[in-house]
Amino acid sequence: MSTVYADDTAAPPAPAAAAPRSLLERLAASPLSFANISLVYVWAAVFVLFALWVPDKFLTATTWQSMAGEQAVTVILALAVVVALAAGVFDLSVGAVMGATAILVAKLMAGMGMSPVPAALATLVAGALAGCVTATMVVVFRVHSFIATLGIGSVLTAFVSAVSNNQLIIGLPTSFQQWATFEVLGIQGAFWIALVLAATIWFVLEHRPVGRFMYATGSNAEAARLAGVRTDRVTFGTIVCTALIATVAGIVVTSRIATGSPTIGPPYLLPAFAAAFLGSTQIRQGRFNVLGTLIAVYALATGVKGLQLAGAPFWLPDLFNGVALLVAVALSVRRRQLTSRPAKDTATVRVRPPLTLREAARPHLEELRDSLDESVWLTEPAADGGTAKVVEAAESRRTLRIVHRPGDPRQADDPDATALRRTTAGALAVEDEQVITVAAPVLTEDGRAVAAVSVCAPRARVDEGFARRMNNAVAETARRIAAQLNEPRTS
């Protein structure tokens, strides 16, 4: 039996938004509004402040070139945090993974005589294994990610002490040092490595299905699971990917400083989380995103660098990053509260009881039956999460047209149950030797699949054109039922 996904149906047109009524409203709706990129304007203000305060030190190419390279490791580790948080994983081990792999790659080269490339590859494998251990604790043993990563971080800290004996590891090959210290436009290679990695992660999160699955899992894991996302796989893969990105940070930082330091990892943890949370208030508000994180890293770094050049004390960066993290989290929570608060002046309306699932579906099922001349069904998930159960049917008027009902034991890959786990609207076609069944989920406004519409036909009848008709008709029927089910009924 083979499973074919056919999502060639067009999405329903979005309702037209009301046009802004004033210049202020148009400015507020702009991508360049203060609410959308407030940190960019704050960054510009900080730049102007220090440009006037310490212009002889602040306004030099050397200052900005060095800051770009210095913050590259923070950028890479912040990207690891963004990946984890996007999928709802609170990974406190990224700093420890970075520190452990930084020591490991140095030890493999200086202590065991390995050349840089094999040492880096072995270190990446070790980082992936550390991620697999963490993912197993979270996914298989159901340990909360906060606790699991905290414990793994402690284990890795012990590993660093055992391998390095709390001593610096020196004598690394010159060729390895050049990995992150080569210069392009006067900026160290570490910056360009971080930039390429950021572009890759941005593309995956924003433009690939796996990115949508990660955001869906991080937003509501249970709803995503019911809609068809394999949330355990997403979580497992996310944790391993996070560990690999942190490993890249460890290799880059060791190459930059040409030394294996046993204390290099933990100090980067707070700046990385501060940048990730502060970045979530920018560009894609409420969502952890790459571009906002990049802005946050360099906006914070500009403030710290300016204060250092002005003679601020050495402990200021920790204070600055801690305050930034608190402010970022507070702003994120406050924004969610404001967006979820009902308007004060909303007129009171009487709302009739909503349509039941059967009431909303019955006319659409009959229309689907008449258009395809095949029997159709509406199914709901079973209480035990097993085979979907039929709650409404529209039988074909032709004789001997029923070739399969939902839950038929011949159908090993139950298309109705599978459709109830889909993440997005669209048809799912399941084929065997005699029957082709097409099913599509009925989704609520929050993306939860409450039912599935299915139709089956004899394989001999289904050619390419009829298969396309089945896919489009079933998906459209599911969308119409969902629209009617979700539509408020006012008196």
Q: From first to last of its 491 residues, what are the pLDDT tens digits of the chain?
A: 444 444 444 444 444 444 455 665 665 566 777 778 888 888 999 999 999 999 999 999 999 999 999 999 999 999 999 999 999 999 999 999 999 999 999 999 999 999 999 999 999 999 999 999 999 999 999 999 999 999 999 999 999 999 999 999 999 999 999 999 999 999 999 999 999 999 999 999 999 999 999 999 998 888 888 888 899 999 999 999 999 999 999 999 999 999 999 999 999 998 999 899 989 888 887 789 999 999 999 999 999 899 889 888 878 777 877 787 787 777 666 665 555 555 454 444 444 555 677 777 888 888 888 888 888 888 887 665 555 677 777 777 664 444 555 554 444 456 666 666 654 556 666 666 678 888 888 887 777 788 888 888 888 888 888 888 888 888 888 888 888 877 765 54
Q: How far apart are the C-alpha atoms of 90 and 83, rounded to whole Å?
A: 10
**pLDDT on residue 247:** 98
Q: How far apart are the C-alpha atoms of 452 and 290, rounded to whole Å?
A: 36
Q: How far apart are the C-alpha atoms of 12 and 55, rounded to whole Å?
A: 55
* Bridge partners, 443 (sequence order): 449
**pLDDT on residue 385:** 54
pTM score above 0.85: no
Query: 386: Cβ–Cβ under 8 A, 6 or more apart, which residues?
Result: 417
Look up residue 429 and give its two tokens. Answer: 């076609």
Q: How far apart are the C-alpha atoms of 235 and 481, rounded to whole Å?
A: 32
Helix (H) or strand (E) holding 431: strand 427-431
